[in-house]
Amino acid sequence: MHPHIQKLHNIAGKTDRLIIGLMSGTSLDGLDVALCRISGQGMETGVELLHFDTIAYDKTYKDKIKSVFSKRQVDLQNVCLLNPWIGELHGEMILTCLQKWGLDATSIDLIASHGQTIYHSPKSLHQLADYSNATLQIGDGDHIACTTGIITCSDFRQKHIAAGGEGAPLAVYGDYLLFSNAAENRVMLNLGGIANLTYLPKSLDASHVFSSDVGPGNTMMDAFVQQHCPGQYFDENSALALQGNVHPGLLTALKFHSFFDQPLPKTTGPELFNLAYLQDARTRCGVREISPADIMATLNYFSAEMIVHALNICVDKLDSYELYASGGGVQNPLLMKNIRSLLGGKKIRSTADLNINPDAKEAVLFAILANECVAGGKTRFGNMKEGIPSITMGKISFYD
Ligand SMILES: Nc1ncnc2c1ncn2[C@@H]1O[C@H](COP(=O)(O)OP(=O)(O)OP(=O)(O)O)[C@@H](O)[C@H]1O
Ligand SMILES: CC(=O)N[C@H]1[C@@H]2OC[C@@H](O2)[C@@H](O)[C@@H]1O[C@H](C)C(=O)O
C-alpha cells in the first residue's frame, strides 16, 4: 500500500479529525478559513469551530478573478494560469493562518477546499440540448496540498452534477448532519452573493430535506456599488439604500424573469443576476432617471422579496418553523429588516444561536463534506427528485 493511502486510512479511523474548511464565494471578498475539530460521521457528526478567519483578497486578486468571473468570453490562457495560482495562494493563506494560530501543518488532518467558482451554468441558464448542468471551480487541490503539505479534498461540485444534480447547493448535506433537530422544523437561510435555503424537517427524515438557491442575495447590490462608488465593494450597513426609496416600476421589472417561475429546487449565479440584468429591468420599466439611492433601495427590497417568496413556497404546509440566517447579508441591516417585515415580523435567528459563526458556516460545511468523504458516506438522502443525490463528494490530493 502506498504510504499516503495508509495515512488517509489512519485519518479515516481517528475518533476526531482536524479539518480546515475553505470557502471563497461569489462576493470575492476573501477566503474563509475555518479550522474544525470534527468527530464521528453522518448524524453522529460533532463539530467544534476552533479558529476562523477571513483573509481579505486585495485589489489585484479581485481584478484577476473578475477578468474571468461569470463571463462567457474570457482569455483561456488566463483561466489556465489562474487555476494553479489560486491553489498556491489559498495554500499560502492557510499557512499564514496556521502561523497566526500557533499550529503546525503536520497537526492538520485534511483541507476541504471549495475553490473559486468562475462559471455556473445549469441547463436552465444555457438551454443547450446537447449539454447537461455544468459548473467550474478553479484553484486546484494538488497545488493546495503541495503548498501546505496537507492532504486536500477539493472540487466537490462535479460529482453532484455527475449524479444528476446542478452542482449546488451543497450546504444542504452539512446542514442536515449538523443542524437537524427533532424539536423544530428549521430553515437555514444563507445570504451570500446568491441566497439559498435548506429545509430541515423535525421528522429528521433525510428524504424530506429540501434545498434551493432562491435568487440574488448581495450580488446585484455589490455589483451596483462597485460600479457607482469606485473603491467600495458593498453597501456597508445599507448606507446608500437607506437614503433611497423602493421604485415600484423598477421592482416590478426586476421580478419579471422566468427564473422566478421555475419550480424549486434550482440554482443560479452572477451569470444571470448582474448589472446587465439591472440594465434590462431599467429599460423595461421605462423610467430614465432613478437615483442611485433609489436603485439600491430597490435592489435590496428585490432580494428580500424573492427570498421570502421562495421561503413561503418551501414552508407552505408547515405549522411552524424556525429560521436561521447566515452569510454576509446578515450584516446588511436593511436587507434583514425587509425580510423580517415581509415575513410579518417573524424572528430571524442566526446560526450563532447554534454555535456556528454565521460568516464561517459555509467553510465549516465544506469541512463536513471532506469528513464524509474520508470517514462517512452512510447517510441516504435518497430523494433525487429534490436534487439531492445520495453521494460522497470531493477529490483527494496528496502532497507526495
Ligand atoms: N457591514 C455590512 N453591510 C452590508 N453588507 C455587508 C456587510 N458585511 C458584509 N456584507 C455583505 O456580505 C457580502 C459577503 O458575504 P459572504 O461572504 O457570505 O458572500 P460569499 O460567501 O462570497 O457568497 P456565496 O455564498 O454566494 O458564495 C459582502 O459582499 C456584502 O454584500
Ligand atoms: C456554483 C456555486 O458556487 N454556487 C454557490 C453560490 O453561492 C451561494 C449559492 O450560489 C450556492 O448555490 C453555492 O454555494 C453554497 C456554498 C452551496 O453550494 O451550498
The ligand placed nearest to the CA atom of residue 168 is 2
Ligand 2 mutation target, pool 119, 176, 190, 365, most atoms within 8 A of CB:
190
Query: Is the same domain home to 102 and 177?
Result: no
Return the CATH number at 20: 3.30.420.40
Query: Is the same domain home to 291 and 305?
Result: yes
345 is in an annotated binding site: no
Query: Is the same domain home to 304 and 225?
Result: yes
In order of 19, 109, 129, 358, the CA distances from 141 in angstroms are: 15, 15, 31, 25
Tens digits of residue pLDDT in 43-82: 999 999 999 999 999 999 999 999 999 999 999 999 999 9
Mean pLDDT of 100-115: 98
Which residue range forms the structural domain that includes residue 20?
3-171+362-373+392-397
CA of residue 332 to ligand 1 center, whole Å: 8
Query: Is the same domain home to 240 and 273?
Result: yes
Residue 381 pLDDT greater than 90, yes or no? no
Residue 384 pLDDT greater than 70, yes or no? no
339: pLDDT confidence band, cut at 50, 70 and 90? very high
Query: Is the same domain home to 101 and 127?
Result: yes
- The CB of 168 under 6 Å from ligand 2? The reply is yes
What is the residue type of 110? L
Residue 290 forms part of a structural domain: yes
pLDDT of residue 316: 87
Length of the chain: 400
280: pLDDT confidence band, cut at 50, 70 and 90? very high
- The CB of 160 under 6 Å from ligand 2? The reply is no
Query: Is the same domain home to 143 and 31?
Result: yes
Residue 301 forms part of a structural domain: yes
67 is in an annotated binding site: no
Query: Is the same domain home to 182 and 91?
Result: no
Query: Is the same domain home to 178 and 256?
Result: yes
Residue 378 forms part of a structural domain: no
30 is in an annotated binding site: yes
The total of structural domains in the chain comes to: 2
32 is in an annotated binding site: yes
Residue 29 pLDDT greater than 80, yes or no? yes
Q: In the predicted model, what is the mean pLDDT of the chain? A: 96
Residue 251 forms part of a structural domain: yes
CA of residue 170 to ligand 2 center, whole Å: 7
Place of cell 494560530: 101
Residue 126 pLDDT greater than 90, yes or no? yes
Residue 380 forms part of a structural domain: no
Q: Between 67 and 316, name the one with better pLDDT.
A: 67
pLDDT of residue 204: 94
Query: Is the same domain home to 138 and 259?
Result: no
Query: Is the same domain home to 31 and 107?
Result: yes
Query: Is the same domain home to 34 and 159?
Result: yes
Query: Is the same domain home to 155 and 260?
Result: no
